[in-house]
Amino acid sequence: MPAERPWFDAPWALHASVVVLVVFWGLAFVAIKQALDHMSWVTLTFLRLGFAGALFLAYLLGPARAHLAPRRADLPLLLVLGFLGFTGYHAFLNLGEADPQVTAGTAALIIASAPAFIALLAVPFLKEKISPVKAGGISLAFAGLALMIFFASPGSEYAFQVSVGGLAIVPSALFAALFTVLGKGLLRTHPPFALVGHAIFLGTLLMVPLVIADAPRFLADLGSMGAESLLPVLYLAVFPTFVAYGLWFRALERLPAASAGAYIYLSTLVGIVGGILILGEDVSVVTILGGGMVVSGVVLAQQLGKR
């Protein structure tokens, strides 16, 4: 008779945990805007990764987890994952959201294009073929992404105008796709929390040169930090990073990638609604149109593109 699985491995509990993590991720776009009112994008990136890295380090140093130290052979890939998933992803996202023209909702919609990048990267990395339907879906998603970047500045006339902040977030979507594609392979040998812990620790170290280069502003940010600025940083470090990333890789370990990836759309919706309700943001018609194209294109590429 097979051993009974723990309750947290039950299908309902697994899907419930993914719902929780995408709510955390959705509200992260709102918390980033709040934190950037009080500090630079460099300070925010380093503090978020530093606090979260300390939590992961405390977890990994527990006596029962002494065997979770990374193998030397895995360090180069973990360093790459640290840059893609943490240093690069969060630095570019925070840099983009520092632009007053970029709302939390717009940032969430740009990040929602990550599955389109995953579908594209599946060709060289996973040797998958692109069907005409999948190619159409990817093209639609990228057309929507371009629409948001070039025409959807809040409060502007509907004229061609590059959103520098929106453009800055695009690398984050690409890095998230690469992080997922490359990180999934290491789940065969690394438990989810250990994988994320090692990657985020290395990612934090990679932020040090940027902090040194921005030292005067960084020190000024620390000197003026109060509860209003510290609370969103702590939220970002604990919930969307420490808790959510571990749950995400745990889900990837147990669910098909497409099934887990579909939850990203809920995160996008939370980001848009959170921006409206908490920050009082407006959502332009062009943003809705472009975001709809991104989500529709990704669904087309992920689901119908397999038939």
Give the mean model confidence (pLDDT) for residues 40-45: 98
**Side-chain half-sphere CA neighbours of 81 within 13 A:** 23
Cβ(100)–Cβ(281) below 8 Å: no
Compute the mean pLDDT over every residue in the chain, rounded to the nearest whole number.
82
> Which one has a higher pLDDT value, 139 or 7?
139
Q: List the structure tokens of 153.
A: 């500045």
**Structure confidence by residue, pLDDT tens digits, 245-262:** 777 767 766 665 555 656
CA distances from 130 to 141, 175, 181, 182 (A): 15, 21, 17, 20
Q: How confident is the model at residue 114 (pLDDT cuts 50, 70, 90)?
A: confident
**Structure confidence by residue, pLDDT tens digits, 134-160:** 788 888 888 888 878 776 555 444 444
- Cβ density class 138-159: b for 16+ within 10 Å, e for less: bebbbebbbbbbbbbbbeeeee
Question: Hunting for tokens 């990267």 — which residue is that?
Answer: 121
In 191-284, where does DSSP find H-type helix? 192-213, 215-223, 227-236, 244-254, 257-261, 264-279
Distance CA 168, CA 149 (A): 10
Distance CA 146, CA 8 (A): 41
AA letter at 39:
M
pLDDT for residue 87: 97
Give the mean model confidence (pLDDT) for residues 14-42: 91
Q: List the structure tokens of 293.
A: 């194209």
pTM, two decimal places: 0.85
Distance CA 61, CA 12 (A): 31
> Which one has a higher pLDDT value, 242 or 253?
242
pLDDT for residue 3: 44
| Residue 72 clears pLDDT 50, i.e. is over it | yes
In 153-191, where does DSSP find H-type helix? 164-186
Please state which of the ranges 10-14, 30-34, 56-60, 117-121 shows the lowest mean pLDDT.
10-14
The helix (run of H) or strand (run of E) holding residue 19 is: helix 11-36
Q: List the structure tokens of 174.
A: 């690409």
At 66 the three-state DSSP class reads helix
Q: What are the sequence ranges of the domains in the chain?
A: 11-306
pLDDT for residue 259: 56
DSSP one-letter code for 153? -
Cβ(115)–Cβ(302) below 8 Å: yes
Cβ(174)–Cβ(54) below 8 Å: no
Cβ(236)–Cβ(39) below 8 Å: no
Give the mean model confidence (pLDDT) for residues 259-266: 64
**Structure confidence by residue, pLDDT tens digits, 267-278:** 888 888 899 899
Q: What percent of the chain has pLDDT over 90?
A: 36
CA–CA–CA angle 183, 94, 234 (5° rounding):
80
Q: How confident is the model at residue 113 (pLDDT cuts 50, 70, 90)?
A: confident
Q: How many CB atoms lie within 10 A of CB 16?
A: 12
